[in-house]
Amino acid sequence: MARTADNPIKRLGRQVWIRALRINLSMNPELSSSGRALKWAGLERELLMVYSDSASQGRLQGVRGVVKHGNDPRRLVRRIAQSELGSAPPAGAKQVVRGVSGRSAPGETKPEKSVYWEIPIDLVEAGEKLCPGSASWENAYLWRLAYPALPSLEDIRSKIAELKARLELCSPSLDEYRGLLPEAKFAALSRLSHAQLVKRYVLSLKPLAKHPTADSLSLLAALVAECYVTDQEVLLQLHRDAFHKAVEILLLHPLMADIAAPFRDWISLPVLTGAWQFPAVYHVSSLMEPFIPFEAWAKMLHKSGHIGLQSCCSPPIDQHRLK
């Protein structure tokens, strides 16, 4: 993968995070001190006030870099001249001596150096305090599934279980309904046709698609990936349809308009088209699969004429050793 600083998917994730934060605050204005919907400058001032009043003083530009370029919102620094600091500096601030920026006014002589306070800022942390749950966008599993190499099936399934728990969802098997439903209802449930099962399953996905969040989009993408790896065609298509609807609902918001195209190209398209490499080979124990040496397996492949065939358990075959 590319370095974080140059990684377009990482940068896009940050751009989605800051927009989703503003959207959430617009929908819940009571979370902000002003009690009304915020523009970008207002959002930044609100985030910086989480640190202290002093951190929100002066000209503000940090959020703009996240919005436009996906700059790292966890590594911002506010630099305020000591003479302009209106209150005590927050914890973690340090004094530095730097050259004075800006032009002098006519007849004014500025000193070459001045004392500043540098305040480290983590906008994601501030956003989480302001709007709990907003940080989930920054490291959503969705971004991991946009890369060509899929995680292992175990990792995907483990993440699905984690996301289901966070979304307060479960998926009971038919047998788990036994004893919980009246006998007649359980009998009717067990006799559902394939078409009825599909309809029932699609209905269960609708809330995830209708209200896209970092966790719901990540869950739908992970379900697509799992069915892709395990070759479950019906479920694969159902999950793709739900994921596509969720993405389009997310991108309908005007704040998402300027990043809609890269989101579709870099995130949505790989999931919908299955443009993935299969995960690395992993081991599953079985009584039917006892261990044999690589060399013995390679000789069997050679003897049967399958020289070019690679098994899930075989290393690259050294043709010269078999001659």
**Cα distance from N-terminal residue to C-terminal residue, the chain:** 40
Token pair of 58, please?
């002066």
pLDDT digits (tens, 9 = 90+) for 58-93: 555 678 889 999 999 988 777 666 656 666 666 666
Distance in angstroms (rounded) separating the CA atoms of residues 192 and 306: 45
- pLDDT average, residue stretch 257-277: 94
| pLDDT number for residue 194 | 93
pLDDT digits (tens, 9 = 90+) for 130-168: 889 999 999 999 999 999 999 989 999 999 999 999 999
- Any idea of the CA torsion for 294, 297, 299, 302, to the nearest 10 degrees? -120
Give the confidence band of 42 by pLDDT, cuts at 50, 70, 90: confident
DSSP 31: G
Give the confidence band of 106 by pLDDT, cuts at 50, 70, 90: low
Residue 85 burial (C-beta neighbours within 10 Å; 0-12, 13-18, 19+):
middle
| pLDDT number for residue 321 | 40
